[in-house]
Amino acid sequence: MKTIDSYQVNNASRIVLNANESYKNLPDAIVDEIKENFDKIIYNRYPDNSAKVLSEAYFEVFNISEDNVMFGNGSDEMLGLIIGLNIKKGKKLYTLKPDFSMFDYYATFHEGSVIKYQIDLDKGFNVLDFIENGKKENVSMILFSNPNNPTGNLISSDDIKIILNEFKDIPVVIDEAYGEFSNSTMMYEIYNYPNLYVTKTLSKAYGVAGIRLGMILSNSENIKNLKEMKVPYNVNSITQYIGSIIIKHKKETDEYIKEIIERREKFYNNLISRNYDDLTIYKSFSNFIYFKSKLKSELISNFEENGISIRNFNDDSFRITIGSEEEMEEVLNIIDYTYGGSI
């Protein structure tokens, strides 16, 4: 079985910017609401297998019917389920390079093969070339994150629709774990494309990675089939309860998203204006920024010496989560220092 690249989460660090989590806990008002109603949870019974309280909250906010959504223990569970249903020995999963490492893990776990289309971050996504390569390989399923993890690159909805039309007979799954930071989504296109699936999570924009809640959206027939295959009681009662409250607090979520987008753009523009040689900074539509640098080892060392953990990859690239204003100032200072300045 193929092993996956470690998440490298180091919560012992003073500043944790390696897992794309929220830098702050929930607002006090939401925490208080959760505490005040905690006695509504029934602890001695198994959780509601239909996750009705979550479906009702999701419908109230997003107008997506319970027939079109299924909840799980993080979007990872949903991805693992749909890959397991479609990929086995002799089947090919078509994804991007780079992309989320769990795609490879689930496909190889089920003895399928993984076909990767190399992203050209300088020229942009070539949808026609992607389609041609996928057809040549006779792929069985298409899956990619959008915005891309780890690059932050965004494939347009128009390009995704072209892919859906060209591969009508196989599932096309869009992992929108970071979609809220891009102001772009395919979630409402599930009614128009029978082969479309969209996965989402509360771990990123909603800031509750600790409760492990994700969902998959598709047409009612697809969701019905998935619900028949999932393990029972896959979302515990506490997660269902807290998740339903979080989903309804859209105003607070939108405010956090706006804050992160503004800080991301400020951080990106500050770095671009410095024009450092050998430091490539990629435009991001997510809550992180992706870099390449020939001085990566020195940068990583300087971050570690200052108690800051970032996501380090095997090549010359790395990724930094957008944190608080103060945290990003520290990151900027260390980059400046590495390139000849002083902290």
Cβ–Cβ contacts within 10 Å for residue 110, how many? 18
Decide: residue 103, CB within 10 A, 0-12 exposed, 13-18 middle, 19+ buried: buried
Give the H/E segment covering residue 247.
helix 237-248
Cβ–Cβ contacts within 10 Å for residue 2, how many? 10
pLDDT of residue 10: 46
- The DSSP bridge partners found for residue 93 are 114, 141
Evaluate if residue 306 carries a pLDDT over 70.
Answer: yes
pLDDT in tens, 172-195: 999 999 999 999 999 999 999 999
Question: How would you classify residue 340: left for phi > 0, otherwise alpha for psi between -120 and 50, otherwise beta?
Answer: left
Percent of the chain with pLDDT over 90: 93
Q: What is the rounded distance in angstroms from the CA atom of residue 225 to the CA atom of residue 221?
A: 6
In the predicted model, what is the mean pLDDT of the chain? 95
Reported confidence tier of residue 342, pLDDT bands at 50, 70, 90 = low
CATH number of 42-250: 3.40.640.10
CATH number of 15-25+251-337: 3.90.1150.10
Evaluate if residue 301 carries a pLDDT over 90.
Answer: yes
* Packing angle of the helix pair 220-229, 74-86 (nearest 10 deg): 90
pLDDT of residue 93: 99
Q: b/e string for 65-95 if b means 16 or more Cβ within 10 A? A: ebebbbbbbbbbbbbbbbbeebbeeebbbbb
Question: How would you classify residue 257: left for phi > 0, otherwise alpha for psi between -120 and 50, otherwise beta?
Answer: alpha
Whether omega for the bond prior to residue 171 falls within 30 degrees of 0, making it cis, is: no
Cβ–Cβ contacts within 10 Å for residue 4, how many? 14
The domain limits of the chain are 15-25+251-337, 42-250
- The terminus-to-terminus CA distance of the chain in angstroms comes to 45
Could you write out the DSSP letters of every residue in 227-243? HHHSPTT-S-HHHHHHH
pLDDT of residue 17: 98
- The DSSP bridge partners found for residue 94 are 115, 142
Evaluate if residue 46 carries a pLDDT over 80.
Answer: yes
Stretch among 6-15, 61-70, 254-263, 267-276 having the lowest mean pLDDT: 6-15
